[in-house]
Structure 1
């Protein structure tokens, strides 16, 4: 889509026309097809529709590909993604294909989903907040707390059984889970419920988990987990620069130190002025960021319209650069 104007300009240039005319029959045929496609408004309408439908999938993949503790969010994000796709396709020319798209995505989700993701979702205190539950989910779906979702609770029970050393331990975890999601004891305090929305889930459990110590320990272990091996694979990519065929006699400790130094020098370089401007600007533009709406090479140049409630009421918007 970003190239549409440039493509439309290209096919009217004399150099393009001369190149097509000087080519063989196959070149002339393909050149004519290219021109017809670029001029076809229906083709670009299809491109816009497909981009809109696949954007929620792309953003979820980027989220999963990122680093950090995300086990407590993936389940809800998956549900939101399906709702967003449904909203988009209802107003699209491809509305009749929604059931097929849904079937493909859910089949993939069922293949990759694990009980630990259900447990992470159920142990995230934010998803039990009354104000959060009152907000409608994408596709106009009413939100419900994790303990009222049959699929989630099946994953929670399976995770408890795998984690527990014996039946006594499993029963203790279930009892403490009841205390947590029913908001008994310390979890009934207004401060505890307010902080559930503002605090990081791991910090929240570290602060208020004394009421259910065994469940709190499990929650911190689960919520600290990444949801893919991408970060480890990127680490191996760095190793490939350090430990290659010509330097294959490096021992393990030396290689670890060199990778550590390489990674930190790369991070420190982003604070230099030469990284922000000049010929080497953004030399290592970060493809790992989960905050990517389009091409990573243009991320720094993007400008977004950010409307807060007052601006919406006044009909005014303010522009804010993405840092």
Structure 2
């Protein structure tokens, strides 16, 4: 039994030993790399410029098994156990054929001077036919004579610097070290070398010495050799990366010396920034545009998406970038163009921009455009276009609708005003009163590990930015424990005796109702923000609008119950915002999309008419009759009745509603997102008139969220947008980068990603 036990544990012990040995080798390798890096920067031994650590791996296991040193001059490999001995035996003694032991580069000599007594000589094993003088970076003189001896002397003192480096070697000043062919030495001076440019000259002197060495030993380590096609492919990829970064990488940065050195290191020629910003950009734009036009032409219909009408502040004034994109039935989105607007945007102007974009896409075949979705800057423009063209369905963005709900609560819900005023009073008192602030910082450091102020928003024309108010509320909630401890401190008690505000704030902090209201407001806003973020990420279709608002009502009802808030005022504000955003297409798409069919008692899958109000049922009839011709109106309504009573075959219904778990988010999602439309086009062919309406309705997006331009390009436009050529370049850059991002379904900007990255880094 014991023998069996020992036998079974032996492999584990051996594996453990191998891993420990590999870790030791890896650590030794990393240590040598660190030493070499410091040495190359002038903080270590000279020989590291020529010796490179190598990690040798086991061919079977792949684990590190040894560390070697490779001579970069002749590619010889040595043991790494004693780098100093390797340097002495291989480099100094002349074993390396490409190393001159008597004239080391200045940059490779240790900066600490060596004091040698006058007349001291060091024997070398290498014979030279003539004498020479080498000056180190610290002013040290190395004298080599023809007899094979080299002498090391203290630094020279130069009162009147020679005109050239050659003069320094050939015409020493009085008191300096002298040498003759017989190896005799002259008296030496104990002063340091003084150069006319000071210490900064040492770098230039090192460069000169390196140049001399390159001329004497022209052999260099060969760089990578690329074929012409490989170079062209690499430059194309580089250009694509720069275009798709859309202003984050400037064209002028291509001229940076370090970047040019990088290109040379990997075997690429210098890249012309003028070419990339000119002819190459034009070619790439035409290529991408042709692909986009072809995909739109192949689609039977499309939806125009418009985002960005809200004016933002630019460096050169108030300007806004309006992005115009095309949503296709297969679920893809294509960038179309950008409109740059400034100041107040009249509804009529917006209407003209939208319609010109539609006609620019499909010409006279305007019925190819099934509708428009836009952020709600002016609903009048959308209504006008819909009234003029009966086949269109023009929607307001749900992302904007939910965001506006937060503004509604802040403006019209008394709870928000009470919480804001109380939080402002508390935060201002803590920040402004020195004794209390110091005490608060002490307890905050102990409880939270930070000493930051409570962030307080500034009033702008008697109003407050609620985004900043929300941040202040978060700060107060996170500091709750520290605030409780402040009240118990003697400092606060002393201040409270004279300051009535301190007593009022103390009562507020002790009041559980204050904390309940504070947490209630924070919780409600967080709830809506999470839904807004999900809307932006998922980009729901129009059929999802009614379920979205119903989900919101359910969550808010639970919120009211949890925090003991009256439901009436909150529900009233939600209904008001719902009506402002509501469109009959919400109800129609919800009814016609097989994704929302409900299984009844008989086993049939029927449309969810029972979830609609009476008014919404009427909206479904009105919308369907509007979207078809007058001749087909009664046929479409008869088919709707058939759809209502018969529904869809259970097998097809289950196939449409099949879900699978998203590997990234972990949420359950529809397995075949396009199946709702395809069922109407391929299976429900007997409902011909209703099918025409259904396939156009159920693919429509309910949000205009899409491509986000980064701030770098927006600032560039703000500074150079008045130039016609500059604006054309900006349009082309926007088109290329937006086309790429929409293809990859990347809807965030570089700034958002960087912010998330740094947030994660701080958390780690």
TM-score normalised according to structure 2 size: 0.29
Q: In the alignment, is residue 74 of structure 1 matched against residue 537 of structure 2?
A: no
Instruction: Note if contact 2:594-2:656 (Cα within 8 Å) is conserved in structure 1.
Output: yes
Q: In the alignment, is residue 257 of structure 1 matched against residue 732 of structure 2?
A: yes
**CA apart distance, 1:238:** 8.3
Question: Aligned residues, how many?
Answer: 258
Q: Determine which structure has the larger helix proportion and give its number.
A: 1
Matches within 5 A, 1:102-113: 102-113=571-582
Q: 2:594 aligns with which of 111, 125, 146?
A: 125
Instruction: Note if contact 1:68-1:225 (Cα within 8 Å) is conserved in structure 2.
Output: no
Task: Decide whether aligned partners of structure 1 residues 285 and 70 sit closer, same or farther in structure 2, where only a CA change above 3 A counts.
Answer: farther
Instruction: Note if contact 1:243-1:250 (Cα within 8 Å) is conserved in structure 2.
Output: no
**Distance of 1:217 and 1:177 partners within structure 2:** 12
Question: Cα deviation per residue 1:172-209 (whole Å; 9 max; x = unaligned)?
Answer: 3223333434345xx22x32110231245543221453
Task: Decide whether aligned partners of structure 1 residues 194 and 58 sit closer, same or farther in structure 2, where only a CA change above 3 A counts.
Answer: same
**CA apart distance, 1:102:** 1.5
Q: 2:609 aligns with which of 119, 141, 146?
A: 146
**CA apart distance, 1:85:** 2.1
Task: Decide whether aligned partners of structure 1 residues 214 and 60 sit closer, same or farther in structure 2, where only a CA change above 3 A counts.
Answer: farther
**Distance of 2:484 and 2:504 partners within structure 1:** 11
- Unpaired runs of 5+ residues, structure 1, are 135-143, 287-296, 302-323
**Distance of 1:81 and 1:191 partners within structure 2:** 31
Task: Decide whether aligned partners of structure 1 residues 207 and 236 sit closer, same or farther in structure 2, where only a CA change above 3 A counts.
Answer: farther
Matches within 5 A, 1:1-323: 3=475, 4-9=477-482, 12=485, 30=501, 33-65=504-536, 68-94=539-565, 97-130=566-599, 145-146=608-609, 149=612, 150-166=614-630, 168-183=631-646, 187-188=648-649, 190-198=650-658, 199=670, 200=672, 202-210=674-682, 211=684, 212-231=687-706, 234=708, 240-241=714-715, 243-250=717-724, 254-263=729-738, 264=740, 282-285=753-756
Task: Decide whether aligned partners of structure 1 residues 53 and 247 sit closer, same or farther in structure 2, where only a CA change above 3 A counts.
Answer: closer
**CA apart distance, 1:113:** 0.8
Question: Cα deviation per residue 1:26-78 (whole Å; 9 max; x = unaligned)?
Answer: xx555554454344333222223334445554444445555634211111221
SS in 1 for 2:479: helix
**CA apart distance, 1:125:** 1.6
Question: Cα deviation per residue 1:202-245 (whole Å; 9 max; x = unaligned)?
Answer: 4322145332344344333223323244547x559787345323
Instruction: Note if contact 2:677-2:695 (Cα within 8 Å) is conserved in structure 1.
Output: yes
Instruction: Note if contact 1:75-1:117 (Cα within 8 Å) is conserved in structure 2.
Output: yes
Instruction: Note if contact 2:587-2:619 (Cα within 8 Å) is conserved in structure 1.
Output: yes
SS in 2 for 1:243: helix
- Unpaired runs of 5+ residues, structure 2, are 1-472, 659-669
**Distance of 1:226 and 1:236 partners within structure 2:** 23
TM-score normalised according to structure 1 size: 0.61
Q: Computing the radius of gyration over CA atoms, which structure comes out larger, 1 or 2?
A: 2
SS in 2 for 1:182: helix
Task: Decide whether aligned partners of structure 1 residues 260 and 248 sit closer, same or farther in structure 2, where only a CA change above 3 A counts.
Answer: same
Q: Using CA pairs under 8 Å that are at least 6 residues apart, name the structure with larger relative contact order, 1 or 2.
A: 1
**CA apart distance, 1:147:** 5.9
Instruction: Note if contact 2:584-2:620 (Cα within 8 Å) is conserved in structure 1.
Output: yes
Question: Cα deviation per residue 1:81-110 (whole Å; 9 max; x = unaligned)?
Answer: 22332233235422xx21222222112212
Q: Determine which structure has the larger strand proportion and give its number.
A: 2
